[in-house]
């Protein structure tokens, strides 16, 4: 593969376009928005951007341990597969809305999916 | 070799090493997460006089860039850099003299201060007033730098120690200690065509009065919509001045709102709700929200869902103090 997923998708410009759209979907989704109640929206927005950057194959240095530690307090409160599925669905819907080709969406979904066990502390 | 200074400690930074890595190598822990310049967890603030490299400010709000904020994980400084954790960045206190004290109404006074040393600020930022016994409170700046004074709007809070002192004890010629400026709620003239929505409650009007006049004085071309709310008609203030401003500038629109029962010719309802019913689509808008924390928090979410980009939403909520 000559060009990374991140470059083929449009790099940081694409992430910038996606992050507001994605975060709006998350906030409007009653299956998961209660997890974001009371959090600082600006900080959360930056974290959503970091998540999308990672899912789109962009620069990040997250480790499995970061994912585990970062979500452990939420797992303790009941974060489970159904919530992860909802986030995956919003990710797919965001990229579809932006006109990203299906095969690239599949690649992004696979990257996000690869964090499932660490995020859910399995 | 460049040196970095943080928390009164100075370290030599290696070529190609990030500020975050350099601190970690010396056992200094700074919170971080993505370590790729995106999540903003490791954001710190350069102290006056030193400048971070522009690439270490990529993706930050222009208001933060202007104040020297940068991301430690992607900062590889070519020259010496001194910075602080923005959460505990105490600024030195300077003395200021009360040069004017007038009354808007029974509850709100207009205080004008003359700082005794240089005080660079952007209208809409806030400062802290310190009393000798250690009591400190934050107030937003309503004046423009070219006016030569710092204007604050102080509402009398029931049992409020600072507001009672400022209302009843401090007189013309009185000395106060202040520090600042703080905050990223101010106008920036990078997009003169952009439409602005400003929503304030009570003395949340102070920063907005500064921001609006700053934007107009810098020739802002886009529409500027102000919705100012109070509970009752005897508490709303600057009405005549704002109406006058709207007459002078065809792109400035002013809507005073009353949330209580007797609306007396004003728009009925909470300012944030009136604003969103009149301007339901906020795509491309820059938004300023100032005042009661519940209003600010709710309006932040609603204006974002209405289409404003998160980087274009600026908020400054009152701090309600229990002490």
Residues of B within 8 A of A20 (CB-CB) are 304, 309-310
Q: How far is A63 from chain B (nearest CA, A)?
A: 9
- The confidence score (pLDDT) of residue B321 equals 67
Cα A6 to Cα A66, A97, A105, B73, distances in angstroms: 22, 17, 11, 20
- The confidence score (pLDDT) of residue B109 equals 97
Q: Please, which pLDDT band fits residue B129 given cuts at 50, 70 and 90?
A: very high
pLDDT higher than threshold 80 for residue B89: no
Please provide the distance, in angstroms rounded to a whole number, between the alpha carbons at the two ends of chain A. Answer: 32
Q: How far is A34 from chain B (nearest CA, A)?
A: 13
Q: How far apart are CA A111 and CA B226, in angstroms?
A: 45
- The confidence score (pLDDT) of residue A120 equals 95
Q: How far is A6 from chain B (nearest CA, A)?
A: 14
Residues of A within 8 A of B309 (CB-CB) are 20
- Cβ–Cβ of A50/B38 closer than 8 Å? yes
Q: Please, which pLDDT band fits residue B36 given cuts at 50, 70 and 90?
A: confident
Q: How far apart are CA B276 and CA B147, in angstroms?
A: 33
pLDDT higher than threshold 60 for residue B323: no
φ, ψ dihedrals at B40, nearest 5°: 70, 10
Report which of residues B233 and B48 the model is more confident about. B233
- Cβ–Cβ of A59/B38 closer than 8 Å? yes
The runs of H, that is alpha helices, within chain B are 19-25, 62-66, 161-168, 205-217, 239-248, 271-278, 293-305
- Cβ–Cβ of B310/A61 closer than 8 Å? no
Element spanning A113, H or E: helix A102-113
pLDDT higher than threshold 90 for residue B134: no
Report percent pLDDT > 90 for chain B: 76
- Cβ–Cβ of B310/A54 closer than 8 Å? no
Angle, vertex CA B51, rays to CA B48 and CA B55, nearest 5: 145
- Total beta-carbon pairs less than 8 A apart between chain A and chain B: 57
- Cβ–Cβ of B310/A28 closer than 8 Å? no
Element spanning B71, H or E: strand B69-71
- Cβ–Cβ of A50/B34 closer than 8 Å? yes
Q: For testing the chain B interface, which of A18, A60, A68 should be mutated: the one with the most B CBs within 10 Å?
A: A60
Query: Rounded mean pLDDT of B56-72?
Result: 90
Report which of residues B31 and B321 the model is more confident about. B31
Tens digits of residue pLDDT in B285-317: 999 999 999 999 999 999 999 999 999 999 998
Q: How far apart are CA B82 and CA B72, in angstroms?
A: 12
Tens digits of residue pLDDT in B3-30: 999 988 999 999 899 999 999 999 998 8
Residues of chain A with a CB closer than 8 angstroms to some CB in chain B: 12, 19-20, 23-24, 27-28, 41-43, 45-47, 49-50, 53-54, 58-62, 66, 70
> Considering chain A, what is the average pLDDT of its residues?
91
3-state secondary structure of B290: strand
pLDDT higher than threshold 90 for residue B67: no
Please state the three-class secondary structure of B134-186 as a single string: CCEEEEECCCCHHHCCEEEEEECCCCCHHHHHHHHCCCCCCEEEEEEEECCCC
pLDDT higher than threshold 70 for residue A27: yes
Candidates B100, B78, B79, B196; CA nearest to B148 is B100
Q: How far apart are CA B33 and CA A62, in angstroms?
A: 7
> Considering chain B, what is the average pLDDT of its residues?
93
Query: Rounded mean pLDDT of B120-135?
Result: 92
Dihedral sign for Cα B225, B228, B234, B239, please.
Answer: negative
Residues of A within 8 A of B36 (CB-CB) are 50, 53, 58-61
Residues of B within 8 A of A19 (CB-CB) are 310
Candidates B225, B145, B223, B143; CA nearest to B191 is B223
Residues of A within 8 A of B41 (CB-CB) are 43, 46-47
Residues of B within 8 A of A42 (CB-CB) are 310, 313
Query: Rounded mean pLDDT of B274-279?
Result: 97
Q: Please, which pLDDT band fits residue B240 given cuts at 50, 70 and 90?
A: very high
Report which of residues B38 and B165 the model is more confident about. B165
Q: What is the DSSP secondary structure assignment for residue B320, as one 8-state letter? A: P
Q: For testing the chain A interface, which of B34, B281, B311 should be mutated: the one with the most A CBs within 10 Å?
A: B34
Tens digits of residue pLDDT in B206-230: 999 999 999 999 999 999 999 999 9
- Cβ–Cβ of A61/B34 closer than 8 Å? yes
Cβ atoms B310, A42 nearer than 8 A: yes
Please provide the distance, in angstroms rounded to a whole number, between the alpha carbons at the two ends of chain B. Answer: 48
- The confidence score (pLDDT) of residue B319 equals 78
Tens digits of residue pLDDT in A63-102: 888 889 989 999 999 999 999 999 999 999 999 999 999 9
- Cβ–Cβ of A50/B39 closer than 8 Å? yes
- The confidence score (pLDDT) of residue B9 equals 92
| Full-model pTM | 0.88
Strand bridging mode B267-268 / B252-258:
parallel
Query: Rounded mean pLDDT of B249-273?
Result: 92
The runs of H, that is alpha helices, within A29-80 are 41-55, 64-75
Q: What is the ipTM of this complex?
A: 0.87
């Amino acid at each position: 593969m000559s060009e990374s997923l991140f470059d083929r998708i449009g790099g940081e410009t694409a992430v910038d376009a996606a992050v507001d759209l994605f975060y709006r979907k998350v906030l409007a989704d009653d299956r998961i928005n209660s997890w974001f109640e009371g959090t600082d929206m600006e900080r959360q927005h930056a974290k959503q951007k970091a998540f999308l950057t990672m899912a789109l194959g962009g620069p990040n240095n997250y480790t499995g341990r970061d994912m585990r530690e970062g979500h452990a307090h939420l797992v303790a409160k009941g974060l489970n597969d159904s919530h992860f599925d909802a986030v995956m669905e919003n990710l797919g819907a965001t990229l579809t809305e932006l006109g990203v080709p299906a095969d690239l969406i599949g690649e992004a979904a696979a990257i996000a999916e690869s964090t499932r066990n660490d995020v859910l502390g399995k | 070799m460049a040196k970095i200074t943080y928390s009164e400690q100075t370290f030599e930074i290696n070529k190609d090493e990030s500020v975050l890595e350099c601190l970690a190598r010396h056992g200094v822990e700074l919170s971080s997460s993505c370590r790729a310049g995106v999540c903003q967890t490791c954001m710190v603030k350069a102290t006056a006089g030193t400048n971070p490299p522009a690439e270490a400010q990529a993706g930050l709000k222009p208001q933060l860039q202007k104040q020297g904020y940068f991301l430690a994980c992607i900062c590889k400084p070519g020259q010496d850099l001194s910075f602080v954790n923005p959460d505990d960045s105490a600024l030195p206190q300077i003395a200021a003299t009360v040069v004017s004290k007038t009354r808007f109404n029974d509850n709100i006074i207009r205080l004008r201060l003359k700082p005794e040393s240089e005080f660079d600020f952007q209208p809409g930022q806030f400062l802290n007033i310190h009393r000798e016994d250690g009591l400190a409170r934050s107030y937003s700046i309503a004046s423009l730098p070219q006016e030569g004074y710092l204007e604050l709007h102080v509402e009398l809070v029931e049992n409020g120690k600072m507001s009672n002192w400022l209302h009843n004890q401090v007189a013309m010629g009185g000395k106060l200690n202040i520090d600042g400026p703080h905050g990223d709620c101010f106008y920036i003239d990078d997009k003169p065509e952009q439409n602005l929505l400003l929503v304030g409650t009570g003395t949340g009007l102070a920063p907005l009065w500064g921001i609006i006049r700053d934007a107009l004085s810098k020739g802002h071309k886009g529409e500027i919509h102000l919705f100012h709310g109070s509970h009752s008609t005897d508490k709303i203030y600057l009405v005549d001045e704002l109406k006058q401003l709207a007459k002078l500038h065809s792109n400035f629109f002013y809507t005073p709102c009353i949330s209580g029962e007797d609306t007396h010719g004003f728009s009925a309802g909470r300012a944030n709700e009136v604003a969103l019913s009149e301007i339901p689509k906020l795509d491309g808008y820059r938004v300023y929200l100032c005042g009661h924390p519940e209003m600010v928090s709710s309006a932040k979410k609603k204006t974002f869902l209405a289409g404003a980009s998160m980087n274009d939403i600026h908020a400054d909520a009152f701090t309600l103090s229990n002490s």
